[in-house]
Amino acid sequence: MTKFLLGRLVSGVIVIVGVSIFMFFLARVIPGDPARLALGPEASAAQVEAMRQQMGFHEPYVEQYLRFVGGAVNFDFGRSLYTDNPVSQDIAATFPATLELVIFAGLAMTLIGGAMGIASAHFKDRWPDNSARILSLLAVAMPNFVWALFLMLILSFWLGVLPLTGRLSESLAAPPAFTGLYTVDALIAGEWQVFLDALAHIVLPAVALSLPGLAQISRLTRTNMVDSYDRPFVEFARAYGFPERSIALKWALRPAIIPTLMILGMQIVALLGNAFIVETIFHWPGMAKYGVNAIVRKDLNAMVAVVMFISVFFVLINMLIDTLVSFIDPKIRLKA
């Protein structure tokens, strides 16, 4: 087991180093002068040149890269050319909002998608299955932002049951920062009203963000559960009178859930990417929006830092998932 995790860690580090090299050079070879873009058309040539000197853009790439790595391991990614803050400070300010969104969307995706898949397989070809099928089809066929606008229109604008945008109502102050996740911080501080308000704010963006992944997880779980139900070990369970509930949630589910878990890692990371659209629509002050703005403005340091952050997140999530899978699938665990 330790060997297995160590192997995963090593390959994770390789992925992160690879991404860092790729991103670092990519950011420097794409056309456009970052200093000019940052300072605007009004700046004089001397000012632009001064900034280029200051950022070290004249040095050889390898030297620049080594300096970058030296900073990055200390969580120092340099200054943003645009906000003029240290990039790490910008990320610290925006990442918790995105993380909170991704956690909620990830939970919705896994739990609702999984439950839909299980129910679909259990009631195969009956109404719960058929409605889940239509729902998944719609969730995949309509892009995130359409769903986001659609949900906003119905639940916020017409029915008024959920707030339209933002992380918190303006009348409320953010809870004392501890994790940066408003819902969690509010619970820690015991501020119920803030918790409920933050929860109400996150429902719509999280649901809109989760839908494509939710549909995919539901379909995959259904397929594998249906396959599982046809296997002799389920007939065995029935022949020995195991309760139908334990067949659905244990004996048939456990073997069927492995492929779902395997794509879960990728789905969660995809949430980070898709978060940009949702963050923009819901005015969610998150890192995805920050990252896309950095790319548009060619804010080199911010761009590289955000991508590094996402790749570290990806590696961590996948290690977590791999560990989980190895606990559930003995064939993987025993081979390791």
Partner 1 sequence: MHELLHISNLNLTFETHDGPVHVLHGVDLSVGAGERVALVGESGSGKSVTARAIMGLLPDRRVRIAGRIGFEGADILREPPARTKARRGRDITMIFQDPMAALNPVFKIRQQFTAVLDRVDRRLTGQEAEEHMRAALRDVSIVDPGRVLDSYSFQLSGGLNQRVMIAMALASRPKLLIADEPGTALDVTVQQQTLNIMGNLSQAYGTAILFISHNLGVVRKFADRVCVMYAGRIVESAPTDALFADPRHPYTRALLASVPRLSSDRLPEPIEGSVPDLSKLAEGCPFRPRCQLSRPECDAPVPMRRDAGRSVACIHEASAA
Contacts with partner 1 by CB under 8 A lie at 231-233, 235-242, 246, 251, 254-255, 258, 328-331, 334
For partner 1, give the closer residue by CB, 177 or 328.
328
E strand or H helix that includes residue 221: helix 192-229
Could you give the CA distance from residue 302 to residue 307 in angstroms, rounded to a whole number? 9
Name the residue among 48, 210, 199, 28 with its Cα closest to residue 114. 210
Q: Quote the least distance from Cβ 32 to partner 1, whole Å.
A: 53
Token readout for 2 is: 């330790």
For partner 1, give the closer residue by CB, 184 or 336.
336
Residue 192 phi/psi, 5° resolution?
Answer: -65, -45
Asked if residue 318 lies in contact with residue 5, where contact means CB atoms within 8 angstroms, the answer is: no
3-state secondary structure 89-158: HHHHHHHHHHHHHHHHHHHHHHHHHHHHHHHHHHCCCCHHHHHHHHHHHHHHHCCHHHHHHHHHHHHHHH
For partner 1, give the closer residue by CB, 251 or 314.
251
For partner 1, give the closer residue by CB, 89 or 246.
246
For partner 1, give the closer residue by CB, 263 or 332.
332
Asked if residue 144 lies in contact with residue 211, where contact means CB atoms within 8 angstroms, the answer is: yes
**Which residue has tokens 């920062």?**
177
For partner 1, give the closer residue by CB, 160 or 241.
241
Residue 187 phi/psi, 5° resolution?
Answer: -65, -40
Burial (Cβ within 10 Å: 0-12, 13-18, ≥19) of residue 161: exposed
Token readout for 26 is: 């990519």
- The residue type found at 306 is V
Q: Quote the least distance from Cβ 242 to partner 1, whole Å.
A: 6
Q: Quote the least distance from Cβ 126 to partner 1, whole Å.
A: 9
For partner 1, give the closer residue by CB, 24 or 251.
251
Q: Residue 231: helix, strand or coil by DSSP?
A: coil
For partner 1, give the closer residue by CB, 80 or 228.
228
DSSP secondary structure letter of residue 170: T
Q: Quote the least distance from Cβ 260 to partner 1, whole Å.
A: 14
Asked if residue 188 lies in contact with residue 90, where contact means CB atoms within 8 angstroms, the answer is: no
Q: Quote the least distance from Cβ 251 to partner 1, whole Å.
A: 6
Q: Quote the least distance from Cβ 241 to partner 1, whole Å.
A: 4
Q: Quote the least distance from Cβ 254 to partner 1, whole Å.
A: 5
Q: Quote the least distance from Cβ 264 to partner 1, whole Å.
A: 17
